Amino acid sequence: MNRRLRIAVVAGLVVLLVAAAVLAFGFWQFTRPVPESYSHTAEYRASVQPNATLTNVTLYLPLPVEAGSSPVGDALADDSPNVVDAPPDWSVEVAQTESGPMLAVSLPTLEPAYRERPPPRPIDPDAETATPGAATATPDPQSTPIRTLDDYRVRVEMAFDEPIDTRSPVGSEPVLRPRFDATETECPFPAPESTVCREFGTRMFLSYDAPADATVEVTVSYEARNEWFAGGWTGNSYRQSTRTVVTGDGPGWVAVRATEAVGEGTYRGAPAVAVSGAAATVRPT
């Protein structure tokens, strides 16, 4: 190999190495967490779905609680803008029960809720195939809409300044309470190794008069998450939920099974969670 060719080969290799280094640095920069993108949010949902009219209704439902207080409960009591969904005629407050703070709903009457949608338009076998942009036929005003049972919902969305401990929330973050006898279980869904699933017992108070064949479904859930941008949106979370269906008159206090999954998502680049007694910091980990 002559001297000129050797110089050309070396120069080419140098160019390739520089290009590879630039690309690697650019990729590293792109996938680094963006501190300004960190957000820490939580969402609480409670729904009640009766299929018949209930009277003299009093309900106590689980709330996310930590150290005897509930940010969700405070938002409901203060009629905060964080309450993004709630039936306008419901009397909602936080009741201090023997099991701690719970969401209290009191109503003289609760009718079944329904939603309606137009029925599907019948297909005319003699009609020409529709073309993009062509006008569609007006639905027949005499057709009967499809009616399905709906639920009543309370939904609260919270935003926090500090990172949320999504790996070990019990004892450091609000979790659904009452809470009894938590046991670790196998996750019923594919999950990363960081995820831990549990079952625990909770309680609801359901008091009302109803027809003997009436059913009422009650669902409560809470999810808290950290999210950030690092070459794409990512994050981690913990979530809990419980559900029961009862028939006839409200039975009063009932024991209900609940589930939770903690440590879901990714922790690469996650914001650091403050230790007890120290100020929270937001930095990549």
Mean pLDDT of 84-94: 90
Neighbour count for residue 211 (Cβ, 10 Å): 13
pTM: 0.78
* 217 — pLDDT class (breaks 50, 70, 90): very high
* Greater model confidence, 215 or 2: 215
How do beta strands 152-160 and 113-117 pair?
Answer: unpaired
Tell me: the pLDDT tens digits for 182-209? 999 999 888 778 899 999 999 999 999 9
Helix H or strand E segment including 14: helix 3-31
Which sequence spans correspond to the domains of the chain? 35-115+145-265
Whole-number percent of the chain with pLDDT over 70: 76
How many CB atoms are located within 10 Å of the residue 103 CB? Answer: 23
Q: How far apart are CA 228 and CA 56, in angstroms?
A: 46
The dihedrals phi and psi of 278, each to the nearest 5 degrees, come to -115, 155
Element holding 59 (H helix, E strand): strand 54-61
CB neighbours of residue 112 within 10 Å? 16
CA-based nearest residue to 201, from 254, 161, 139, 127: 254
On the question of pLDDT at 135 being above 70, the answer is no
Query: Do the beta carbons of residue 74 and residue 44 sit within 8 Å?
Result: no
Pairing of strands 54-61, 39-50: unpaired
Phi then psi for residue 16, to 5 deg, are: -65, -40
d(CA 15, CA 215): 73
Q: Are 202 and 180 in contact (CB under 8 A)?
A: yes
Spatial distance between the Cα atoms of 226 and 236, rounded to a whole number of angstroms: 5
Q: Cβ neighbours of residue 225 under 8 Å, at least 6 residues apart? A: 40, 41, 42, 164, 166, 235, 236, 237, 238, 265
Q: How far is residue 177's CA from residue 276's CA, in Å, rounded to a whole number?
A: 21
> 138 or 43: which carries more pLDDT confidence?
43
